[in-house]
Structure 1
Amino acid sequence: MERGSCAMSPVPDLSVSGSRYRVLVGVTGSVAALKLPSLVSQLLQTPGVRESDGIDVRVVTTERATHFYNTADVPVHVYRDQDEWEMWSARSDPVLHIELRRWANMLVIAPLDANTLGKIASGICDNLLPTLSEKRSSRGTLLIAKDMCGPSMGHKPSSTVLSCHEHSNVATPDHFPTSGHPSGLWLCGSPLHY
């Protein structure tokens, strides 16, 4: 997929958001990243959010995720790893991951690939997104939607990582019905049931 360009401001003005709901969407290198433009558009039109309260959405992407969508199709600001480094040049400059953490009252990582899940669980902060999730304060919510095909979804290491994650405010939506077996196909073509 063709990579787009998003105009980046050197220092984001995150303090002026008058929105009551400030959602930071993290996106990782999974084929489900194709859905990012739709996810962001739907978040911006969240029913039940009064216009006076407002909702402000920003995106943090991994470089691998940009393979699956065009940043020009995302109707909000998209931050990349390079922004973290370009924004900071002197000791008194703001640090992007700290500013984003202060700004957001919810971090949604969708999709969360196995690579980033492992980094978060291990405390490896080698790019912007794991750094944000590792440094989440207890005042905000971290919602993750892991995206792993078929048997990987219930694979013991993946399940163990999620169950012992240190964040007490982590929510992992259940993608499967409580009774019966799901049917259909993952985006990769694997059967949904296993």
Structure 2
Amino acid sequence: MHQKHILLGVSASISAYKAADLANELTKRGYAVDVLMTQNSTKFITPLTLQTLSKRPVHIDVMVEHRADLVNHIELAKQADLLLIAPATANIIGKLASGIADDMVTTVAMALKTDVPKLIAPAMNTYMYQNPVTQKNLVRLKEFGYKEIEPREALLACGDFGRGALATNATIIQAVEATLSQRSL
């Protein structure tokens, strides 16, 4: 049996720091974890942190090709057993729902085969999460085969209390493992 390959997409949320523990725990469990970051997410957590914990290169710029004979974002998509975007901001959700592919996360997501499982873990302010546009975009993503790992209700970084906090890493990992085990049946 081959090593399962997870693409971990990180977008620009204060909860991006939790991606370090996710990458670390998934790697320890024997998964190959390739981290995809939006440019703005690098302002919350450094690529070096995620590279060190995943033991693999971190991918940020669609225009950077490591090998002349391969198109990086296509190769990453071909290797994927699962896409996990955690945290997923309203921005990244809106881009994916609209088919916009202008960063590493959205471009690789668009290049995935339709049968590759896609998990998305929103993290944002309560009012952003409840916004009808965000909710409509989440419904659209579900129509495209994405499964939402719902945010928690908590005191948020902005000081508001409500639904919008990133699901716990335990919940996210449980969803990853359940999805991968269903796929291998």
User: Is residue 2:44 matched to residue 1:44?
Assistant: no
Alignment of 1:1-194 (within 5 A): 19-46=2-29, 54-74=30-50, 75-76=53-54, 77-81=57-61, 84-87=62-65, 93-165=69-141, 168-176=144-152, 182=153, 184-192=154-162
SS in 2 for 1:23: strand
TM-score by length of 2: 0.77
Moved over 4 A (4+): none
Counterparts of 1:121 and 1:168, CA distance in 2 = 8
TM-score between both structures, scaled by the size of structure 1: 0.74
Give the Cα–Cα distance (whole angstroms) in 2 for the partners of residues 79 and 22 of structure 1.
15
The separation in 1 between residues aligned to 2:67 and 2:6, in whole angstroms, is 27
The structure that is helix-richer by fraction is 2
Contact 1:19 1:56 in 2 (8 A): no
Equivalent position SS for 2:75: helix
Letter in 1 for 2:15: A
Work out whether residues 123 and 151 of structure 2, in 8 Å CA contact, stay in contact via their aligned partners in 1: no
Q: Which has the higher strand share?
A: 2
Tell which structure's C-alpha radius of gyration is larger: 1
Task: Give the gaps of 5 or more residues in structure 1.
Answer: 1-17, 47-53, 177-181
Taking the aligned partners of 2:9 and 2:163, their CA distance within structure 1 comes to 27
Matching residue's letter, 1:27: V
Q: CA RMSD in A?
A: 2.2
Aligned length: 160
Q: Deviations over 1:53-79 (max 9, x none)?
A: x31111000110011112222222211
